[in-house]
A and B are shown apart, each in its own frame.
Chain A
Amino acid sequence: MSKITCECGHVNPEGTVLCEACGKPFEANQHLNNNKPEQLLNMRYDGSARRSQTYQRTFIDKTWNFFSSVKIGVSIIIVIVIASALGTIFPQEMYLPPGSDPSTHYKDQYGILGQIYYQLGFHNLYSSWWYLLLLAMLGISIVIASIDRFVPLYKTLRKQKPKRHPNFMKKQRIFGETDSGNIDYKKLKANLKSKRYNLYEEDGNILAEKNRFSRWGPYVNHIGLIIVLLGAMLRFVPAMYMDEFLWVREGETKQIVGTDGIYYMKNKDFILETYDMEDEGNSQFRESLQKQSAPVPENYQTNAVIYKRTDLPVVPGKEPELKKVKEAEARVNHPIPLENGISLYQASYQLNEFSSMTFKLHDKGDEESNYGEFTVDLIEPKDEYELENGTTVKLERYFPEFELEDGEPKQVSKFPRNPAFIFEVDAPGEEPEVSFAGIGVNIDASGNNDYKLGLTNFETRDVTGLTVKKDYTLPIIAVGAAIFMIGVIQGMYWNHRRIWIQPKGAGVWVAGHTNKNWFALKKDIDRTLEGTGIDFPVDQQEEKDAEERRKDDGIISD
Chain B
Amino acid sequence: MELSAISSNLLYASFFIYLIATFIFGATVKMTNEKTNKKLGNAGIGLTIVGFITQIGYFITRWIAAGHAPVSNLFEFMTFFGMMLVFGFIVLFLIYRITLLGLFALPVALLVIAYASMFPTEISPLVPSLKSHWLYIHVTTAALGQAILAISFAAGLIYLIRQVNQEKATKRTRWLEFVLFALMSALGYIVVASGFGAADYKTVFEAPVNEQMTEITYEMPAIAGPNDGELVTEGAFGPLFETPGWMQGVNAPVKFNTIIWSLMAGLVIYGLLRLILRKRIAKSIQPLLKSASPRLVDEVSYRSVAIGFPVFTLGAIIFASIWAQEAWDRFWGWDPKEVWALITWLFYAAFLHLRLTRGWEGERSAWLAVIGFAIIMFNLLAVNLIISGLHSYA
The A-contacting residues of B in range 291-319, CB under 8 angstroms, are: 291, 293-296, 299, 302-303, 306-307, 309-310, 313-314, 317-318
What 10 A-B pairs are tightest by C-beta distance, nearest first? A332-B128, A288-B124, A345-B329, A288-B122, A88-B336, A285-B125, A287-B122, A333-B132, A70-B357, A126-B334
Of A74, A518, A554, most buried by chain B (CB within 10 Å of CB) is: A74
Instruction: Kindly state the separation between the CA atoms of A284 and B122 in the bound complex, as whole angstroms.
Output: 9
- Tell whether A291 is near chain B: CB-to-CB under 8 Å: yes
Residues of A within 8 A of B356 (CB): 218, 515-516
- Tell whether A92 is near chain B: CB-to-CB under 8 Å: yes
Instruction: Kindly state the separation between the CA atoms of A557 and B389 in the bound complex, as whole angstroms.
Output: 50
- Do A95 and B389 contact each other (CB < 8 Å), given the known contacts A297-B127, A555-B286? yes
Once the chains bind, are A493 and B310 in contact (CB under 8 Å)?
yes
Once the chains bind, are A493 and B66 in contact (CB under 8 Å)?
no
The B-contacting residues of A in range 493-546, CB under 8 angstroms, are: 493, 515-519, 541-542, 545
- Tell whether A474 is near chain B: CB-to-CB under 8 Å: yes
Residues of B within 8 A of A92 (CB): 334
The B-contacting residues of A in range 325-376, CB under 8 angstroms, are: 331-335, 343, 345, 347
- Tell whether A427 is near chain B: CB-to-CB under 8 Å: no
Q: Which residues of A contact B (CB under 8 A)?
A: 44, 70-71, 73-74, 77-78, 80-81, 84-85, 87-89, 91-92, 94-95, 109-111, 113, 126, 218, 243, 275, 282, 284-285, 287-289, 291, 296-300, 331-335, 343, 345, 347, 467, 469, 471, 474, 477, 481, 484-485, 488-489, 492-493, 515-519, 541-542, 545, 549, 553-555, 557-558
- Tell whether B339 is near chain A: CB-to-CB under 8 Å: yes
Once the chains bind, are B350 and A77 in contact (CB under 8 Å)?
yes
Other contacts beyond A284-B67, A288-B122: 5, CB < 8 A = A88-B336, A111-B245, A126-B339, A333-B134, A542-B295
Residues of A within 8 A of B310 (CB): 485, 488-489, 492-493
Instruction: Kindly state the separation between the CA atoms of A435 and B349 in the bound complex, as whole angstroms.
Output: 71
Instruction: Kindly state the separation between the CA atoms of A515 and B166 in the bound complex, as whole angstroms.
Output: 33
Residues of A within 8 A of B125 (CB): 275, 282, 285, 288-289, 296, 298
Residues of B within 8 A of A111 (CB): 245-246
B224 CB to closest chain A CB (Å) equals: 18
Instruction: Kindly state the separation between the CA atoms of A289 and B126 in the bound complex, as whole angstroms.
Output: 11
User: Which one of B176-184, B186-194, B340-348 is at the A interface?
Assistant: B340-348
Residues of B within 8 A of A299 (CB): 128, 131
- Do A81 and B347 contact each other (CB < 8 Å), given the known contacts A95-B389, A492-B306? yes
- Tell whether B331 is near chain A: CB-to-CB under 8 Å: yes
Tell me what chain A mostly uses at the interface: helix, strand, loop, or mixed: helix
A521 CB to closest chain B CB (Å) equals: 11
Q: What's the tally of chain B residues with a CB closer than 8 Å to chain A? A: 71
B385 CB to closest chain A CB (Å) equals: 13
Our pick among B96, B122, B165, B313 for the contact of A485 (Cβ within 8 Å) is B313
The A-contacting residues of B in range 245-267, CB under 8 angstroms, are: 245-246, 248
Q: Which residue of B lies closest to A345 (CB)?
A: B329
Q: Which residue of B lies closest to A549 (CB)?
A: B294
Instruction: Kindly state the separation between the CA atoms of A485 and B145 in the bound complex, as whole angstroms.
Output: 14
- Do A554 and B340 contact each other (CB < 8 Å), given the known contacts A88-B383, A333-B129? no
**Count of A-B contacts judged by CB separation below 8 Å:** 161
Residues of B within 8 A of A289 (CB): 125
- Tell whether B228 is near chain A: CB-to-CB under 8 Å: no
- Do A488 and B358 contact each other (CB < 8 Å), given the known contacts A332-B327, A469-B329, A554-B167? no
Residues of A within 8 A of B357 (CB): 44, 70
Once the chains bind, are A296 and B127 in contact (CB under 8 Å)?
yes
Instruction: Kindly state the separation between the CA atoms of A296 and B299 in the bound complex, as whole angstroms.
Output: 48
Q: Which residue of B lies closest to A489 (CB)?
A: B310
- Tell whether B4 is near chain A: CB-to-CB under 8 Å: yes
Q: Which residue of A lies closest to B210 (CB)?
A: A109
Once the chains bind, are B318 and A481 in contact (CB under 8 Å)?
yes
Once the chains bind, are A113 and B127 in contact (CB under 8 Å)?
no
- Tell whether B6 is near chain A: CB-to-CB under 8 Å: no
Of B299, B349, B357, most buried by chain A (CB within 10 Å of CB) is: B357
Once the chains bind, are B4 and A284 in contact (CB under 8 Å)?
yes
- Tell whether B27 is near chain A: CB-to-CB under 8 Å: no
Residues of A within 8 A of B163 (CB): 553
What are the interface flags for B144-169 relative to A under an 8 Å C-beta threshold, 1 for contact and 0 otherwise? 00000000000000000001011100
Our pick among B123, B296, B329 for the contact of A519 (Cβ within 8 Å) is B296
Instruction: Kindly state the separation between the CA atoms of A313 and B328 in the bound complex, as whole angstroms.
Output: 33
Once the chains bind, are B131 and A333 in contact (CB under 8 Å)?
yes
A311 CB to closest chain B CB (Å) equals: 31
- Do A331 and B389 contact each other (CB < 8 Å), given the known contacts A492-B307, A492-B309? no
Q: Which residue of B lies closest to A114 (CB)?
A: B246
Once the chains bind, are B334 and A516 in contact (CB under 8 Å)?
no
Q: Which residue of B lies closest to A109 (CB)?
A: B248
- Tell whether B65 is near chain A: CB-to-CB under 8 Å: yes
Q: Which residue of B lies closest to A42 (CB)?
A: B359
